[in-house]
Each structure stands twice: as structure tokens, then as C-alpha cells.
Amino acid sequence: MNSTDDLFADQGPEYANKPDRLEMVAGKVVATLNQPSATQKRFNALMERIDTEQTWADALRHSVSTHGLAHRQALHEIQSASHKLCRQMTMLLDQRIQAPGKPNGLTPKQKQQATHLVLGLCDQLNPTDDPELEALLARYGQTDDEGMDLRDQAQELAESVMGADFVGGREFNSPEEVIRAAIEHEQKKAKAQAEKREAKRAARKAKKGQSGAEVAAEQKQSDAHSALRTVYRQLASALHPDREPDEDVRKRKTALMSEVNAAYERKDLSTLLRMQLQAEYVNANKAGALSDAKLKAMCHLLTEQIKALESDNLQLRRGLEFEFGYPAYLRFKESDLLACMLEQRDHLQNDLVQMRADLEAVQDDKGLKAWLKEQARSNKAALRASQVPNFDEMLFAMMRRR
């Protein structure tokens, strides 16, 4: 296809009886024909799909913009309160550990448990910004025997589940770290296998030369980009601000040309077509008299645009899942996003309530001992659960990251 061809010019007598035409219908670009062709129907379906994807993305961004700031501010306030409560608990445990022994005081084993809790709280609190917490780390860092036990259990888990070759001299500090490393290991292995397959395919291709299908695909790609350039050049010719003597019109055309350039840069054919027809820069008698080949070239480019939009929307949904807990596989609804935000805040508020109750419970020796006993019971249950990896979750995580 010659890049200087008029995309909307008559294509010859074989198309004179029933030319495809691009028109604006209810604000949308559609191809019209007295007797609709398969290519025309495909073009219209692709344009509709692009509108749908863009509508979803706009709704998602609007909801995050509208509600995200207030939600983040609320989370920041909750996290600040949580930080203060954690610090209070850390300093209180330190005082009880350092208290002189007395008949009803902490036993050595209880002090060891409290020491481990202090170290865990210090890690959460970012001690590098707090000299008092840094001092606590220096004081208790050499006495954390339980931390060593956890590392031993992690090493045993890694060797039993993934094998000695996987461990390879590495050290793991927790079962969770083992699972993360296992997922990363499987991802790298899958990537290496994919690269190996691709290298073999490329070698076979180089040996055999291009197939007829590959040549046709390259030609289709070339025709698609030629169609895009043609629409862009027609718009640029009509909108070039330097050719306009009127200052107000020149400013308007400058703004429109900026939109055209942005759409061309992202290969957004649907926007270029819409701007062309809306601005009426096409002769009404020739508005979209397209050959079937040119319409097919446009369909190819629109298909690529849909893939890019779907990829962008997937990244947006994954961002929602990461920040707000909104499942990426669900169709987006603003009400569901608000429910996820509320659930997230309620969960953290409940944590604050529990933290305040814990602080109240450890104010005397009896309450502190009971609290330490409950913490030990909870930690053992969590450790038992972590020692049995959820392979369904591991597989799901690996598939999502491919």
C-alpha cells in the first residue's frame, strides 16, 4: 500500500456499487454498507470492543482518583496509631525484661520469649530512625535463640520440599522466605525453558527461511501501519497550525494536533478515525469509501490496539488487587472497590483494638505471663501451618507472574 494513497478515495469500479464507508453513529465510528460484509462487521465489532475497554479503564481510574486519596489518608492515620502502639509495647516489654528478679517475675524462658518479641517489633518499627530502638536491637540481638531455631526449620523445609540442589548453600530465615525463593526458582526455570524453546524455533526458522504464512503476516503488519500513517498524514495536513492565519483557530489546531500526535504515538487508530470524522476533514461524499484490503488492514491494527488496552487494564486491575485487595479477575464495579477499601480499613481498625487490649493485658506480671503464653501458642500454630506449603497458591502465584 502506498503511504500517500488517499485512504478514503474511491477504489475503482469493483467497489463502486457498495463501498464501505466510515460514519459517526451515536458518537462512534462505524463502517456502513447496504449489504454488510464480514470485514465490515469485524471492523465495527473491534471498534465496539475498544470503546468497552477504554470505558472500563476510565471508570477504574476515575474511582481510584475519587476515593483513593481519602482511603490512603485513612490508612496512614491507622498505621501511625499502630506504630505508636507497637513502640509502647516494645518499650514496656524491655522494662519487664530488665526488671530485677522477684518471686512472681518472669522466668528465664519467658524473658527469652519476650526478647524475641521485642526483636520482631523492632523490625516492624524501622529502628534506624529511632535511637532507642537501635539500642534495644544492640542489647538483645545476640540473645535471640528462637530466631536461630526458626532458621533451622526453614533450612529443613527447603531441603525436604525442594531438594538439596535448590538450597545450594543458601540460608533461609523463615518458611515464608523458602516459599518466595521456590516461586522465584520456578519462574526462572520456566523462563529458561521458554527461551530455549524460542531459540530452537528461531534456529529452525533461520534454516528453513520464512514460510508463506510468515510473509503474509509481515505484509499484514506493513499494511496496518501504512493505514495508520495515511490517516495521520491526512489529519496533520488539515490541522497544521502554521498554515492558519487566524490566531484563535491556530491555537485550537495546535491543541488538536497535539492530540493527533499522541494518538499516533500510541498507535491509537480508533481515536484518529474518530477525530477525522468528527472534525469533518473528510469529504462527505467520499467519507470512508474503503477497499476490503484497506479495511482489513485497519482491523489488524485495531486488534493490536485491543491487545494493548487489555494488557494495560490487566495491570490496572493488578494494581487494585495489590493496594486495595480488589481481585484482579473480577469485573470492575465501583461499589465493590469501596467495599474492599472499607474491609481493609476495618481489618486494620480491628488490629488496633487488639493491640490496645494487649497493652492493657500486660500491665502486671500475671497478665504479661498469660499474654506470653497465648503468643507462644499462636506462634506454634502459625509455624505448623507455614511448614506445609500451599502448592495451589504457589502455582497460582507463578502463573500470574508469567
Over residues 106-120, the pLDDT tens digits come to 888 888 888 888 888
The SS3 call for residue 32 is: strand
Residue at 3 is within a domain: no
Range of the domain at 145: 13-401
* pLDDT reading at 29 higher than 80: no
Among candidate residues 94, 92, 84, 85, the one with its CA nearest the CA of residue 137? 94
Tell me the pLDDT tens digit for each residue of 174-224.
Answer: 666 777 777 777 778 878 888 888 888 777 766 665 555 555 556 556 656
d(CA 84, CA 130): 12
User: Are the beta carbons of 106 and 368 closer than 8 angstroms?
Assistant: yes
Task: Count up the domains in the chain and report the number.
Answer: 1
Residue 294 identity (one-letter amino acid): K
Residue at 274 is within a domain: yes
Residue at 103 is within a domain: yes
pLDDT computed for residue 1 by the predictor: 44
C-alpha cell belonging to residue 68: 483513593
Residue at 7 is within a domain: no
Instruction: Return the minimum-mean-pLDDT range out of 62-76, 244-258, 313-327.
Output: 244-258
Mean pLDDT of 41-58: 87
* pLDDT reading at 20 higher than 60: no
User: Are the beta carbons of 325 and 343 closer than 8 angstroms?
Assistant: yes
Residue at 4 is within a domain: no
pLDDT computed for residue 102 by the predictor: 63
Instruction: For residue 90, count CB atoms less than 10 angstroms from its CB and return exposed for 0-12, middle for 13-18, buried for 19 or more.
Output: buried
* pLDDT reading at 342 higher than 90: yes
d(CA 61, CA 55): 10
pLDDT computed for residue 301 by the predictor: 81
* pLDDT reading at 47 higher than 90: no
Tell me the pLDDT tens digit for each residue of 137-175.
Answer: 888 875 544 445 556 666 676 666 666 666 666 776 666
Residue at 2 is within a domain: no
| pTM as predicted | 0.56
Residue at 6 is within a domain: no
Share of the chain above pLDDT 70, in %: 66
User: Are the beta carbons of 94 and 136 closer than 8 angstroms?
Assistant: yes
